[in-house]
Structure formats: structure tokens, C-alpha cells
């Protein structure tokens, strides 16, 4: 990755200019020229580091709910490794737009996927459909009882920090989530378009037929969390990822954390730059863990050290490490498609 590409990634993940000539604005910021900046961003897209450039919207503010689902799909037959059930499961899930993320993880509950819809009944219907058409079973649909951090802004491989950004603007406590507002037909059309990838042109918003002013308004109203580049973690240098789930922790209230939080340990973990997402979720039978943290690293050794440091920071509770073994699906939800 060139120095220009590193500097661009540091900017455009959460601050892609909402201007008619965004690459010219970036060029002025970096002391470069418009065509060089455009070519650098295009290279990052073509190499797979950038998955898309577009809006990241607050699902709750748009009237949607998101649920994490944990389940089991057989990976052996008669004691021998057999991925046929997982492959069929992936094929079914990949054609369901409401399922955005789908991972195989290193646990008895080996498949974890997210479903987004406008009601609990609709989510249940989607899960039932997957169960009926695959060998998925023993599914638990988990809501987030408290959100401590939502942040996928990352340093690129070779960048000076090589860390996930931890600016407070990406941490969204439950009490500060955006309220649902009535959306017009034009709002829905704009949001639907903004959830896709901007055109590969010097004037993407004009060619998208989307108003920069209205996108800025979405940010101001907190319908949109950010407008920028969404990366593929592995290609960006963070090939080692795990969902680390902690059981009930020791009393952390004596430390400088949010005393109004249901689980003060969540605020502690949210401050860690290597953690991108942190939630409280209900425990279920066979899985007594309630505090979930997504951790990202550039090596297995680095990931192990992060897990150890995180556990120590909240009193060394019992925890489970669910390594990301396979990414079966990772897409952005297209609202109002």
C-alpha cells in the first residue's frame, strides 16, 4: 500500500467528502492532484481492500431491527469432516437479502449470522425458512440489550497506527440512539441508493443523482452514522479476528466507567482500540456469556495478547473465544430495496 493510499484510508473511512468533486477536496487536503487521488482510491477498490464507499445508516432510526443469531450446522458425518451441510447453509443464506453477515466460528454453536427486518415476527420467519431448507438447528435469536461500541473504521496494513479507530463518535450508547423519524418517499429513495457503492467517477454524487446536502442532513439527523469506505478486514491487514464473549464480570463500578451502564465492563472494553463492536446480549442454555467483543489483529500472537489484556482489564471473568474460521457472507443491508 502506497503512502498516499494509507493517508486516504485514514480519511475516507468516516469522512469521504460529501462534495461534488470529492477527489479534488481530498487532493487539496493531501497536497496531491485530483486524478492521482482518484486513481489511488480506485486501486484500493480493485485490490479488494475497499468493499464499497457509501452510507452506513442507523437501522433503528429507519424503523428496522437487527438480531444476531447463533446456531449449529453439522460439520462432520460419521466422525469425518464434511462441509456439505455448511455449503448448503451458505448457499441458502447468500440469497436472503435480510441476512447481511454470516460466519463459521470455532465453537459448538458454529454459525453466527445477523438478520435485519422491520419486526421480530419477520426475523423469526426468516430464521424458520433457513432451518426448513438447511440442517441449521438449535438457533438462538439474540438482541443487544446494551450497545457500547459500533465501529468498523480501521487502520490499513502498514499504516502507522494499525489499529481500529476508537474515536468517541463511533461509540453509540443505547440512550443516545437516533429516534425513528417519518421518512418521505424521496428519503427512502436516497437512502436506498446511498446504501450501495458510489459510481467510479470524479463526480460520483452527480452521477448517482443524490444530493450532497441531503446526505449531510442524514448525518446531522443521525439517520446515517457515517459516509465513507467500508473495508474488508482481511485485505486491510487484519486477518485474525475473534468474537470474545465474557460471562458475568467482577464488580467494575469502582473504576472510571459509565455507572449508569447495566454492565460497566462494556465501557472498559469499548475503550480498547482493537475492539470494533461491543454489546451486552442475553445468555442462553449452553452459552453463559453476556458481553460480546469483536477483536481484530494482524497475527495470532497479537490477537492472543489482546484477549488476555481485555480479560485482565475487567477482572478476568470466564470467557469463550470464537475465532472467525470462515466468512460465508458479508454485505451491507440495502434499506428500502
Number of domains in the chain: 3
User: Cell triple for residue 126?
Assistant: 426468516
| 306 lies in the same domain as 158 | yes
DSSP 154: B
Give Cα separations from 275 to 12, 208, 225, 243, 279 (angstroms): 20, 34, 18, 10, 11
Segments forming the whole domain that contains residue 224:
3-52+182-231
Ordered DSSP codes for 160-194: SS-SB---GGG---GGGPPPP----HHHHHHHHHH
Q: Does residue 309 contact residue 256 with C-beta atoms inside 8 Å? A: no
Alpha helices for the chain (secondary structure H):
3-15, 22-30, 34-46, 84-94, 120-133, 185-194, 204-208, 212-220, 264-270, 300-313
104-134 pLDDT per residue, tens = 999 999 999 999 999 999 999 999 999 999 9
| Number of neighbours of residue 138 by Cβ within 10 angstroms | 14
Q: Are residues 289 and 251 in the same domain?
A: yes
Contact 290, 140 (CB under 8 A): no
The answer, yes or no, to whether residue 140 has pLDDT greater than 70, is yes
Question: Quick check: is 164 in a domain?
Answer: yes
Give the model's pLDDT for residue 83. 93
The number of CA neighbours under 13 Å toward the Cβ of 168 is: 3
Q: In this structure, is residue 335 part of a structural domain?
A: no
Rounded distance, CA 315 to CA 123, Å?
A: 36
Q: Give a yes or no: residue 332 inside a domain.
A: no
pLDDT tier at 308, thresholds 50, 70, 90:
very high
In a domain, 333, yes or no: no
C-alpha–C-alpha distance, residues 293 and 279, integer Å: 7
CA distances to 192, 206, 263 from 333, in Å: 9, 23, 29
Judge whether residue 44 has pLDDT over 70. Answer: yes
pTM of the model: 0.83
In a domain, 126, yes or no: yes
State whether 117 and 160 are in the same domain. no
* Residue with the three cell numbers 443469531: 69
> Quick one: pLDDT at residue 180?
64
| Between 196 and 169, residue with greater pLDDT | 196
Cα–Cα–Cα angle for 120, 125, 128, rounded to 5 degrees: 125
pLDDT tens digits, 242-300: 999 999 765 554 444 454 555 689 999 999 999 999 999 999 999 999 999 999 999 99
Measure the CA–CA gap between 315 and 252, rounded to whole angstroms: 8
Dihedral pair phi/psi, residue 285, rounded to 5°: -60, 125
**Is the same domain home to 259 and 160?**
yes
CA 258 vs CA 118, 239, 250: distances in Å: 31, 32, 15
| 68 and 126, same domain (yes or no) | yes
Sign of the CA dihedral running 173, 220, 336, 61: positive
Whichever domain contains 320, its CATH number is 3.30.70.920
Amino acid at each position: 500500500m502506497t503512502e498516499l493510499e494509507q493517508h486516504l484510508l485514514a480519511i475516507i473511512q468516516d469522512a469521504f467528502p460529501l462534495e461534488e468533486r470529492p477527489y479534488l477536496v481530498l487532493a487539496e487536503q493531501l497536497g496531491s492532484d485530483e486524478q492521482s487521488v482518484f486513481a489511488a482510491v480506485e486501486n484500493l477498490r480493485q485490490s479488494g481492500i475497499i468493499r464499497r464507499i457509501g452510507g452506513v445508516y442507523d437501522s433503528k432510526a429507519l424503523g428496522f431491527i437487527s438480531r444476531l443469531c447463533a446456531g449449529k450446522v453439522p460439520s462432520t458425518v460419521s466422525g469425518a469432516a464434511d462441509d456439505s451441510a455448511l455449503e448448503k447453509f451458505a448457499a441458502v443464506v447468500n440469497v436472503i437479502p435480510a441476512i447481511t453477515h454470516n460466519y463459521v466460528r470455532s465453537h459448538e454453536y458454529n454459525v453466527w449470522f445477523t438478520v435485519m427486518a422491520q419486526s421480530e415476527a419477520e426475523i423469526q420467519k426468516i430464521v424458520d425458512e433457513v432451518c426448513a431448507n438447511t440442517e441449521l438447528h438449535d438457533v438462538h435469536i439474540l438482541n443487544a440489550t446494551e450497545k457500547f461500541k459500533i465501529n468498523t473504521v480501521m487502520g490499513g496494513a502498514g499504516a502507522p497506527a494499525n489499529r481500529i479507530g476508537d474515536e468517541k463518535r463511533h461509540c453509540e450508547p443505547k440512550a443516545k440512539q437516533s429516534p425513528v423519524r417519518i421518512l418521505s418517499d424521496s428519503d427512502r429513495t436516497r437512502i436506498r441508493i446511498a446504501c450501495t457503492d458510489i459510481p467510479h467517477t470524479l463526480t460520483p454524487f452527480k452521477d448517482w443523482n443524490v444530493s450532497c446536502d441531503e446526505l449531510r442532513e442524514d448525518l446531522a439527523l443521525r439517520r446515517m452514522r457515517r459516509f465513507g469506505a467500508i473495508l474488508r478486514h482481511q485485505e486491510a491487514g487484519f486477518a485474525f479476528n475473534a468474537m470474545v464473549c465474557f460471562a458475568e464480570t467482577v464488580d467494575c463500578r469502582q473504576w472510571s466507567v459509565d455507572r449508569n451502564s447495566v454492565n460497566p465492563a462494556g465501557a472498559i472494553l469499548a475503550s480498547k482500540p482493537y475492539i470494533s463492536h461491543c454489546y451486552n446480549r442475553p445468555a442462553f442454555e449452553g452459552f453463559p456469556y453476556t458481553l460480546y467483543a469483536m477483536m481484530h489483529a494482524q497475527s495470532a500472537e497479537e490477537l492472543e495478547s489482546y484477549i488476555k489484556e481485555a480479560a485482565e482489564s475487567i477482572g478476568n471473568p470466564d470467557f469463550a473465544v470464537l475465532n472467525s474460521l470462515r466468512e460465508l457472507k458479508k454485505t451491507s443491508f440495502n434499506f428500502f430495496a
